[in-house]
Amino acid sequence: MSEPQTFTDRIKQSSHPLALLFFLGFRIGAPVAYALGMFFTKSFILEFITVILLLAADFWNVKNISGRLLVGLRWWNETDDNGESIWVFETANPDRQINPVDSNIFWFWLYLTPFVWGVMGILAFLKLEFLSLILVIIGLTLTIINTMAFTRCDKFGKANDLASSVFGTVSGSMFGRLVPSFFRGNQ
């Protein structure tokens, strides 16, 4: 995967090109709409709604569509009879071939977007734009939830061979040190 490839080459190698395009569209769309929104519209309300809806769509899309099509993982949270919250992790059959292009792009953007939102949060705080900070906090929360849940799902199932994915191993182990033990495992 180290040789340079154009974007269209990567899309052509993908097993689920449409899912990949939607994934990238929502993933990148929300931060871009946040960063460049004020160049296109003077209305803060319009920008706010656009970013919120893009974020919600991205959250739902990653959780329900991209995860299972691109890397064969799915997570959700349900409540049992006693009101305890249960994380359910579903992983694909190990025999199932995971396309490395799909997998690399998925994990790369899964870990990158929380950092992007974090940087924009620091910028918004330094510029004292507290209205925008609401958006950044929402974006940070939604992206981090997905990142942690998929990281746990992946560790839980071990369906995906992380060693083959450079981004997965590096950022996965780094992330493991950063996240609280609550999300890391069941010890």
Partner 1 sequence: MSKKWKPVAVNPDEADDFELEPDTIEPDVETPVQPQQKASSTQAQQQSQGQGGSSSFFNFSNFVSPNIDLSQSFNPLLKNEQVREHAFTGGDTLDEPVWKTLERDFKAIGQRLLSVMWPASLSKLAKIQQHNLLIAARNSGINVGINFDQLGQDLEQDIANTPLDDSDLKKLAWDLWGPLLFTLVFAVILGLMSPEANSSEVFSGVFAIVWSTLAVIAVNIQLLGGTISFFNALSTTGYAMFPLLLLAITSIFIKWSFIRFILYVILVAWSVYAATVNLKVHGVLPGRVFLAIYPVGLVYATLGWLCVIT
Which positions lie near partner 1, rule CB under 8 A?
Answer: 43-45, 48-49, 52-53, 56, 60, 64-65, 68, 72, 74, 76-92, 131, 134, 152, 156-157, 182, 186
Q: Smallest gap, in angstroms, from Cβ of residue 53 to partner 1?
A: 8
Is 103 within 8 Å of 70 (Cβ atoms)?
Answer: yes
Q: Smallest gap, in angstroms, from Cβ of residue 92 to partner 1?
A: 5
φ and ψ at residue 130, rounded to 5 degrees: -75, -25
What is the spatial distance between Cα 45 and Cα 102, in angstroms, rounded to a whole number?
35
Which residue in this structure is represented by tokens 């049992």?
Answer: 80
Closest CB to partner 1 among residues 45, 128: 45
Closest CB to partner 1 among residues 39, 182: 182
Closest CB to partner 1 among residues 60, 108: 60
Reported as type and span, the H/E element at residue 85 is strand 85-91
Amino acid letter, residue 46: L
Q: Smallest gap, in angstroms, from Cβ of residue 129 to partner 1?
A: 11
